[in-house]
Structure 1
Amino acid sequence: MNPKLYFIILFFVLVSCNYNDQFPVKKSERISTVNTSVTQDYGNDYGPFENLFTFVNQFDAQDSAFDLQVFKDKYDQFYAAKKKAVYDSPELPAWIEINGLLLELTGEAKYAQELEEISANENMANYIEPFVLTKNGDHIYVNLFNPVEINYQHSLGGEVTFRQETTYPESGSVRLHFDNAENSYIELYIRIPEWAEGTSVVVKKVKYFTQPGSYCVIAKKWKQGDVVEIELPIENYQARLH
Structure 2
Amino acid sequence: MDLGIAGRTALVCASTAGLGAATARALAAEGCRVVFTGRRGERARALAAEFDHCIGLEADLGSVAGAQRLYEDTLDAVGPPDILVLNGPGPRPGTASTVTPQDAAAAVTTLVEVPVALISAALPHLLSQGWGRIVGIGSSGVQAPLTGLALSNLGRAGLAGYLKSLATEVAKDGVTVNMLLPGRIDTDRVRSLDAAAAESTGRSPAEVAADSAASIPLGRYGRPEEFGAVAAFLCSAPASYLTGLAARCDGGLVPVL
The structure with the largest alpha-carbon Rg is: 1
The answer to whether TM tops 0.5 is no
